[in-house]
Amino acid sequence: MSRRWLKEKRKDHYYRKAKSEDYRSRASYKLKQLNRRFGLIKKGDAVLDLGAAPGGWMQVAGEAVGDTGIVVGVDLAGIKPFKEENLITLQGDITKEETIERIRAVQETFNAVICDASPDISGAWDIDHFNSVELGRHALRMAGQVLREGGSFLVKVFQGSLLKEFEGEVKREFEFVKVAKPKASRKESSEVYIVAKGLLKTPVRYGDILEVEITEQGRRPGEGIAYVDGYRVIVEDGQVGEKTRVRIKKATRRAAWGVKV
Ligand SMILES: C[S@@+](CC[C@H](N)C(=O)[O-])C[C@H]1O[C@@H](n2cnc3c(N)ncnc32)[C@H](O)[C@@H]1O
């Protein structure tokens, strides 16, 4: 740790605020700001926090879920236990399959999965970017296993060439996806957060290309409706009786929208 780094750390507004408000990390304010803006965590929710040490996000999530909710935090490093019984800490690697079993032994399903995990920083921008996306992919995979339909997902990634691709992977799974940088995230840091809401369990997703048969006229002029396993796909410029190939440009829990390709 250089002197300059220590001095900057002492000066930092959120660092001092965290100290005075008894949060374990300045990162706490990033989650506070993101949750205020996007409403990811609600009273009574079950939240899984991946890469949770020293536990600042767990404290913020704990306040948001209240006494009736639960927060499970996992980190490679040990997290100092909390006095609150509904803040549960586990030491484990989020890239390992066995960790999911240990999480499930505590809590089977969750309303939100949040991940602030950072890889070991090499200093080489592209390597750190690649490793952060890899960690994000593990978090997304875990979210797919434990998140309830309609649930929320929040993940940190360092910006770089794979960000768009990873954002697309998240978009396939959720109704709403946005990339955000909260005020508390240092400007000089390349980190951004992918915010996702409304986990989908539908048979058709964003980006899919599929053959459909239009069987009904939609409500809007020119719109045709096709069904995939009972799920409604609204096709622009679709005529009843037409068989066509469509690319899905948006999917929600109730319906998907496709364009002919
Ligand atoms: C920036 S810190 C998280 C800070 C936390 N959100 C808070 O507010 O206290 C990133 C954490 O990710 C953890 N981490 C990195 N790789 C991990 C992995 N494979 N499994 C579990 N935790 C990991 C690190 O040990 C580190 O504690």
Q: Which tens digits make up the pLDDT trace of 29-59?
A: 999 999 999 999 999 999 999 999 999 999 9
Q: What is the mean pLDDT of residues 194-200?
A: 98
Specify whether domain 209-260 bears CATH 2.40.50.140: yes
Please identify which of the residues 11, 17, 83, 156 carries the catalytic annotation: 156
How sure is the predictor about 12, in pLDDT bands with cuts at 50, 70 and 90?
confident
Q: What is the mean pLDDT of residues 211-235?
A: 96
Q: Residues spanned by CATH 3.40.50.150 within the chain? A: 3-199
Query: What three-state secondary structure class fits 57?
Result: helix
Q: Which tens digits make up the pLDDT trace of 172-193?
A: 999 999 999 999 999 989 999 9
Least confident of 35-39, 101-105, 119-123, 228-232: 119-123
What is the C-alpha to C-alpha distance for residues 224 and 218, in angstroms, rounded to an integer? 5
Residues with CB under 6 A from ligand 1: 24-25, 27-28, 51-57, 74-77, 93-95, 116-119, 135
What is the C-alpha to C-alpha distance for residues 61 and 137, in angstroms, rounded to an integer? 22
Q: Which tens digits make up the pLDDT trace of 72-104?
A: 999 999 999 999 999 999 999 999 999 999 999
Q: Residues spanned by CATH 2.40.50.140 within the chain? A: 209-260
**Residue from 100, 113, 69 nearest 87 by CA:** 69
What is the C-alpha to C-alpha distance for residues 120 and 77, in angstroms, rounded to an integer? 13
**In the chain, which ranges are E strands?**
46-50, 70-75, 87-91, 110-115, 147-158, 174-180, 191-199, 209-213, 216-217, 224-228, 231-235, 243-251, 255-260
156 in catalytic set: yes
3-199: what fold? Rossmann fold (3.40.50)
pLDDT score for 10: 58
Query: Which amino acid residue places its CA nearest to atom 5 of ligand 1?
Result: 52
